[in-house]
Chains A and B, each alone.
Chain A
Amino acid sequence: DIQLTQSPSFLSASVGDRVTITCRASQGISTDLAWYQQKPGKAPKLLIYAASTLQSAVPSRFSGSGSGTEFTLTIGSLQPEDFATYYCHHFNNFPLTFGGGTKVEIK
């Protein structure tokens, strides 16, 4: 199984900060990676797919990059509504797996 390791697992940031979250895969997965945002009590929401393609209607302050085993999600200027937990997800082969999550909290 492909393991996805996210870092950090928790970060504290202020509105306006630039935030970067990393996701490392235990083996190469090309660009078969997606990012989701989840708020408490809600289902995850797709932000980025194919490592760097922004989902429709997602603000452009979100961006993704990477290929192979290392990927990043960047929030260019953190907004109040961005405080949430973020998950990476690979779909390279079965079983599909998710990273452990990164919780972004207000400093």
Chain B
Amino acid sequence: QVQLVQSGAEVKKPGASVKVSCKASGYTFSSYYLHWVRQAPGQGLEWMGVIDPSGDSTIYAQKFQGRVTMTRDTSTSTVYMELNSLRSEDTAVYYCARGVVRGLIANWFDPWGQGTLLTVSS
């Protein structure tokens, strides 16, 4: 079955960087865009950006431009989300999610990864 498995929880200090992974299985990795969404504690969902696993092109939400980098490794069917210059407001659960329609970049999401909790604290 289609599955996204994310890396484990992270604790970082302000100013540091974090790199979260999302390993895909059960489908052709290069055929579906992968998105990143985050959720601060007790808050709603916030879209961060999307990567095309076939060509490595990306679109980032303006809020994260300059601080986020999404990459992929086709040999392991894994995408990565790196966030720099961390601050306490970045404390959140980070999800990867697959676009449902093959080749459609603006898309709805299914499935989602299980989430990775990032805690930023001094």
Which residues on A are within 8 Å of B, measured CB to CB? 32, 34, 36, 43-46, 49-50, 55, 87, 89, 91-101
Contacts and interface: CB of A to CB of B under 8 A. Distances in A.
Contacts of B35: 96
B110 A46 contact: yes
Contact of A92 (B44, B106, B110): B106
A10 to B, nearest CB: 13
Interface residues of B, number: 22
Interface stretch (B10-18, B24-32, B75-83, B111-119): B111-119
Contacts, number: 54
A30 to B, nearest CB: 12
B62 interface: yes
Given A91-B107, A94-B106, A96-B106, A44 B47 contact: no
Given A43-B95, A43-B114, A49-B100, A98 B109 contact: no
18 contacts: A36-B45, A43-B95, A43-B97, A43-B111, A44-B45, A45-B112, A46-B100, A46-B110, A55-B110, A87-B44, A89-B45, A91-B108, A94-B59, A97-B47, A98-B45, A98-B47, A100-B44, A101-B45
